[in-house]
Chains A and B, each alone.
Chain A
Amino acid sequence: MMGEILAVVSAVLFGLGAYGALTSRSAVKVLISLEIMFNGAVLAALLLTSHAAPGAGFQLVLFSVALGSVEVGVLVSILILLFRRMGTVDIYQVPGLEVVE
């Protein structure tokens, strides 16, 4: 029962994050959607390792949460630079990413 619930929550978080990352125009919203996917991945890793190797899952997730924090710091820095240069965080207005109608 516990495994079922966690598997569903993990999969739904992953799917919701993918939907938000694919459809959002705002780079901040894309970053937030990717973080939602990260939460789903953390749950999945702990669920997968909770039976076989609980200590390994603990270390893996500890490591990945620390790594994710640094990654968010760099991404927010890039977003701030994007805003300073372009005046917007709309990814469709970034040179090279414009939509060709």
Chain B
Amino acid sequence: MSPLNLFTVYLLLAGAAAVVSAALAVRAKEDFYSAVLLGITGLSTAALIGLLGYTFLAAFHVLVYVGATVMFVIFGVVLVGRGAGSERRMTLPAALTSVLVASAVYVLLRQAIVSRVDVNLAEAASWLFEGSATALVFLALALASLVVAGLSIASGRGGGR
């Protein structure tokens, strides 16, 4: 058994923070606290990403995901007000399902790590970013139209009742 070095301790601390804050976010009674705890989960995930060696990506995750997305959720919660209550339904089937899902993800990841499966995403990425610039432009336009559609829906100009 290998001794714990400082890197592993940091990894364990960040992983524990991510798991605990995610569990508290799911269990919290108020939506506002859930949103704040989601921000802590995002920060812990960014720490894990940084420990993996992707420091720029960790900074991007903090700035864009925690700084913008989570803040957007928090302001949405503030606009909406109190949540729909903390009553839960189907807790046992949901717990069983989530345990099965988590086990499946773990087995998949472990198998991929152990057998060192070559995902070969480099080829896919070069195809996406170098060979399909036009498709990326269309994707950017689609994202922009999604934002416009979301704003239109929120303002209530989408027709309906």
| CB–CB B76/A28 < 8 A | yes
| CB–CB B101/A36 < 8 A | no
Residue in B22, B26, B156, B161 with the greatest tally of chain A CB atoms within 10 Å: B22
| CB–CB B73/A83 < 8 A | no
Chain A, interface size category, equals: 35 or more
Some 6 contacts from A to B, beta carbons below 8 A apart, are: A6-B11, A42-B45, A47-B109, A53-B125, A56-B121, A76-B150
Which residues of chain B from 109 to 159 have a CB within 8 Å of any chain A CB? 109-110, 112-113, 116-122, 124-125, 128-129, 143, 146-147, 149-151, 153-154, 156, 158
| CB–CB A36/B49 < 8 A | no
Q: Per-position contact with A for B86-123: 1 when CB-CB < 8 Å, else 0?
A: 01111101110111011101100110110011111110
Residues of A within 8 A of B (CB): 1-20, 22-29, 31-33, 35-36, 39-40, 42-44, 46-62, 65-81, 83-85, 88-93, 99
Point out the residues of chain B lying under 8 angstroms from A72, CB to CB. Answer: 69, 72-73
| Neighbour of A65 across the interface among B23, B65, B149, CB < 8 A | B65
A37 to chain B, nearest CB (A): 9
Cα–Cα distance between A53 and B150 once the two chains are bound (Å): 35
Chain B facing A: main interface SS: helix
Residue in B41, B93, B105, B122 with the greatest tally of chain A CB atoms within 10 Å: B105
Q: Which residue of A lies closest to B16 (CB)?
A: A9
B16 to chain A, nearest CB (A): 9
Cα–Cα distance between A12 and B56 once the two chains are bound (Å): 25
| CB–CB B88/A25 < 8 A | yes
| CB–CB A81/B84 < 8 A | no
Point out the residues of chain A lying under 8 angstroms from B128, CB to CB. Answer: 59
Residue in B2, B7, B106, B161 with the greatest tally of chain A CB atoms within 10 Å: B106
| Neighbour of B122 across the interface among A53, A66, A78, A89, CB < 8 A | A53
Point out the residues of chain A lying under 8 angstroms from B57, CB to CB. Answer: 46, 58, 61-62
Point out the residues of chain A lying under 8 angstroms from B119, CB to CB. Answer: 48-49, 52-53, 56
| Neighbour of B15 across the interface among A6, A26, A59, CB < 8 A | A6
Point out the residues of chain A lying under 8 angstroms from B77, CB to CB. Answer: 28
| CB–CB A16/B23 < 8 A | yes
| CB–CB A9/B94 < 8 A | no
| Neighbour of B73 across the interface among A32, A65, A93, CB < 8 A | A32
